[in-house]
Amino acid sequence: MKIFSKIIILIIFINLFLNCTNRERLNPIDPQNSETGGRLQGLSIYSEFDRAVLQWQQLPLKNIQGYRVYRKQDSDVVFTHINLASPDSNEYIDYGLIYDKKYDYFVTVLGVDFETPGSDTVSVIPGPTIIWATDVYNRRILKISHDGAHEIKQIAVDGYPWELAIDHDSGVIWYTDVLLNRVCTIDSQTSKIVASISSGRPIDITLDEKNDRVWIIDETQGKIIVFNRQGEKIGEISGFQQPMSVDHYSEDGSCWVVDSKAGTITKISKSLELVFEIKGLFSPSDISINQYNGDCWVADSSRILNFDSVGKTKLIINRGVNFPTYLAVDSELGKCWVLDLGYFAYESCLICFDDRGEKLIEMPGFSWPENLKVNPYDHSCIVANSGAGQILKIALNGTIIGQVADYDYTRGLIIEF
């Protein structure tokens, strides 16, 4: 009996010892911690213009002096310690960065007589633009860093944001909602319903700051609704069969409208008068206007068309594409980026043509992509790869600069510059 009691006591002692040992290993900066290896966890980064914001998991420990931040630029060989963040912080902001330079960072924990190994390294390329996108069914507007690799924040909205436009002067973002049939605006403080469109479907929007016009397509009711930038209705133009896409030309204040069912392109003046109509198209789906010369690019069934500002045909591309559905023109370089949905939309590709119709890039691997925009600063192409829940930034040479993912259904895009 005494032997049995001693065995029980020994077992209890061993368990207590093992538990204490395991408890010590729960210390996140213990080098023997199998999960962390003693390194700081959860380091993330994003850039907003000339600053980088680093964030990490704050440690619930009292015996640390702070968090040491290390940085390395493009041309640097080794990392340099740049600052010590306070022990009660979980963020550090690095100001005054140079655009288009790559910056790498890692963070350590500094104790009284020790310093942990470095965290995982994070990188960012700052720049003067912001990418805005919509995640429709999660009811979010996404703010993404210039390099396209980091989410800055998500803005919850009352509705299902589809297409986007931005007023650069005021910072107000306009968005259409094709499920609740309305047009809304949102800024840093408030959101507002500009118009509820009964029995309508506002599928596209373009904002002309220079001429104080916001042009919106109501596909269901076959009309264009026009507001000023303050949200006051100016008027509407009806008589379309199935308007699908709209863009503006700031130089003369005009608006160009694609009517898919009628097979037409209509140019409307700033005063809402018909300028001219181009007929005989197959089934046009998207339009983009070159803001430098007024040229109009149109995706039309199995071909791409280019018209000048008075409606004269300049170029027809009917080879090397299957079903070009969405496009965006680079106004400065004259290039046109196209999303070709192919025979299967989940096997789509991105193509770039020059102003003579020569194919410069063909990049496969997209799944149901539904939007693209050209970044005027670096001439990259931003793609909403909707079926995969991604936003990608593609360089002129066809390489992926950055991407953010794990969204539900990405759709609207606009570049703040």
Beta strands at 122-124 and 130-135: parallel, antiparallel or unpaired:
unpaired
* Alpha-carbon gap, residue 91 to 62, rounded angstroms: 18
Beta strands in 308-397 (DSSP E): 313-317, 324-329, 336-340, 348-353, 359-366, 371-374, 381-385, 390-394
Residue from 253, 247, 176 nearest 213 by CA: 253
Backbone angles phi and psi of 409, in degrees to 5: -150, 95
Integer CA distances (angstroms), 354 to 276, 280, 315, 348, 397, in order: 27, 25, 11, 20, 13
Q: Are 135 and 88 in contact (CB under 8 A)?
A: no
Output the tens digit of pLDDT for each of the chain's 417 residues. Answer: 555 554 454 444 445 444 444 444 456 655 555 445 568 999 999 999 999 999 998 888 888 899 999 999 988 999 999 999 999 999 999 999 999 999 999 999 998 888 999 999 999 999 999 999 999 999 999 999 999 999 999 999 999 999 999 999 999 999 999 999 999 999 977 889 999 998 899 999 999 999 999 999 999 999 999 999 999 999 999 999 999 999 999 999 999 999 999 999 999 999 999 999 999 999 999 999 999 999 999 999 999 999 999 999 999 999 999 999 999 999 999 999 999 997 887 889 999 999 999 999 999 999 999 999 999 999 999 999 999 999 999 999 999 999 999 999 999 999 999
- Per-residue HEC secondary structure of 267-307 comes to EECCCCCEEEEECCCCCEEEEEECCCCCCEEEEECCEEEEE
3-state secondary structure at position 39: coil
Q: How many other CB atoms are there within 10 angstroms of residue 365's CB atom?
A: 12
Which domains, ranges and CATH numbers included, belong to the chain?
A: 44-124 (2.60.40.10), 130-416 (2.130.10.10)
Report CA Rg, the chain.
27
Strand pairing partners for 73? 103
Q: Is 394 strand, coil or helix? A: strand
Phi, psi of 46 (to 5 degrees): -150, 160
Q: Tokens 């506002």, residue? A: 202
Sign of the torsion formed by the C-alpha atoms of 203, 209, 210 and 212:
positive
Q: Tell me the β-bridge partners of 130.
A: 416
Q: Could you tell me the sign of the dihedral formed by the alpha carbons of 412, 256, 376, 169, in that order? A: negative
Classify residue 107 by burial, with Cβ atoms within 10 Å: 0-12, 13-18, 19+: buried
List pLDDT tens digits, range 332-366.
Answer: 999 999 999 978 878 899 999 999 999 999 999 99
Under the phi-then-psi rule, with left for phi > 0, alpha for psi from -120 to 50, and beta for the rest, what region is 389?
A: left
